[in-house]
């Protein structure tokens, strides 16, 4: 029977430690969240992150901007947050409306407040193994594997998906941890040939049933990063049948989601500590 790698208990343990450190720090770590537009999913994600911050004793600030917000207006908000001494981390909830240049805007966030780890300098430093901050979801995946004593070094890890938020930074993290990494994507031919070779399979495509039972073995450890809403139900990118066939898997919800939030808190605490030095 497949083992369930649930993330809630690991995230809770990390957040309890963060809460203790905040009490000793003497200042409140500050996180500002920016939401552009009226995407219900984005609002849910941000509200969960803010609630976790509040629980751990952080100072929080949420800025909501309209769908038709100009790029200059958003850049002005970021500039003000960069200069705000009470704010140690800036969370820009993605995706942004299509009329906004996402990459250009991310570049304007102070790298020392880039707690999402999306700034190009942070992404480049990650390749060198020296990031100021590591992207939260990839970092959370490694923390969860460590929590369950799953060895990474020497393992064949296949990542399906090459986004800047998960696939690409995760590949760098895994290489730094001595894994043998394969990245698959929409143009990969014979996907199953690659996924069947995986000791650890990470799936982040945003597409239901990307992985079916015939694409894995009974020894595969499956990390499902996907969040899809189908008929009011949240499901991942990996079919239930594939998960049951696997050696172990992360559930959706309750797997990587809580870990992502815990890593955001960890990064914000780190930013506050550095600022206090």
pLDDT in tens, 82-116: 999 999 999 999 999 999 999 999 999 999 999 99
Is 250 within a domain?
yes
Report the alpha-carbon distance of residue 93 to residue 43 in Å, rounded.
9
Is 162 within a domain?
yes
Is 188 within a domain?
yes
How many domains, the chain? 2
Is 122 within a domain?
no
Confidence band (pLDDT; 50, 70, 90) for 153?
very high
Identify whether residues 201 and 247 lie together within a single domain.
Answer: yes
Calculate the average pLDDT of the chain: 96
pLDDT of residue 240: 97
pLDDT in tens, 25-65: 989 999 999 999 998 889 999 999 999 999 999 999 999 99
Is 61 within a domain?
yes
pLDDT of residue 77: 99
Is 54 within a domain?
yes
Confidence band (pLDDT; 50, 70, 90) for 148?
very high
Identify whether residues 144 and 86 lie together within a single domain.
Answer: no
pLDDT of residue 26: 87
pLDDT of residue 193: 98
| Separation of CA 60 from chain center | 19
pLDDT of residue 118: 95
- 3-state secondary structure string, the chain? CCEECCCHHHHHHHHHHHHHHHHHHCCCCEEEEEEECCCHHHHHHHHHHHHHHHHCCCEEEEEEECCCCCHHHHHHHHHHHHHCCCCCEEEECCCCCCCCCHHHHHHCCCHHHCCCCCCHHHHHHHHCCCCCCCCHHHHHHHHHHHHCCCCCCCCEEEEECCCCCCHHHHHHHHHHCCCEEEEECCCCCCHHHHHCCCCEEEECCCCCCCECHHHCCCCCEEEECCCEEECCEEECCECHHHHHHCCEECCCCCCHHHHHHHHHHHHHHHHHHHHHC
Percent of the chain with pLDDT over 70: 100
Is 16 within a domain?
no
Confidence band (pLDDT; 50, 70, 90) for 276?
confident
pLDDT in tens, 212-269: 999 999 999 999 999 998 888 999 999 999 999 999 999 999 999 999 999 999 999 9
The whole domain housing 59 covers 27-110
Report the alpha-carbon distance of residue 66 to residue 57 in Å, rounded.
29
Identify whether residues 37 and 88 lie together within a single domain.
Answer: yes
Is 18 within a domain?
no
pLDDT of residue 231: 87
Identify whether residues 140 and 251 lie together within a single domain.
Answer: yes
Active site amino acids = 49, 93, 116
CATH number at residue 82: 3.40.50.10860
Q: Which of 76, 110, 144 is the last residue of a domain?
A: 110
């Amino acid at each position: 029977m497949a083992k369930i790698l649930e993330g809630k208990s690991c995230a809770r343990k990390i957040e309890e430690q963060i809460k203790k450190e905040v009490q000793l720090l003497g200042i409140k770590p500050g996180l500002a969240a920016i939401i552009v537009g009226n995407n219900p999913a984005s609002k849910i994600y941000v509200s969960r992150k803010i609630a976790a911050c509040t629980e751990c004793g952080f100072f929080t600030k949420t800025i909501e901007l309209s769908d038709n917000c100009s790029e200059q207006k958003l850049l002005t908000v970021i500039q003000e947050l960069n200069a705000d001494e009470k704010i140690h981390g800036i969370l820009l909830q993605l995706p942004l409306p299509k009329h906004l240049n996402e990459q250009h805007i991310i570049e304007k966030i102070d790298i020392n407040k880039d707690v999402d780890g999306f700034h190009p300098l942070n992404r480049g430093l990650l390749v060198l193994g020296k990031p100021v901050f590591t992207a939260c979801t990839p970092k959370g995946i490694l923390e969860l594997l460590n929590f369950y004593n799953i060895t990474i070094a020497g393992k064949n890890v296949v990542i399906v998906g090459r986004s800047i938020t998960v696939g690409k930074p995760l590949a760098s993290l895994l290489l730094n941890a001595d894994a043998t990494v394969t990245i698959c994507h929409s143009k990969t031919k014979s996907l199953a040939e690659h996924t069947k070779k995986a000791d650890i399979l990470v799936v982040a495509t945003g597409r239901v049933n990307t992985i079916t039972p015939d694409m894995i073995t009974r020894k595969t450890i499956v990390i499902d990063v996907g969040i899809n809403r189908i008929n009011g139900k949240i499901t991942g990118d990996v079919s239930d049948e594939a998960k049951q066939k696997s050696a172990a898997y992360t559930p959706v919800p309750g797997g990587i989601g809580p870990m992502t939030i815990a890593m955001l808190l960890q990064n914000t605490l780190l930013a506050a500590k550095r600022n206090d030095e």
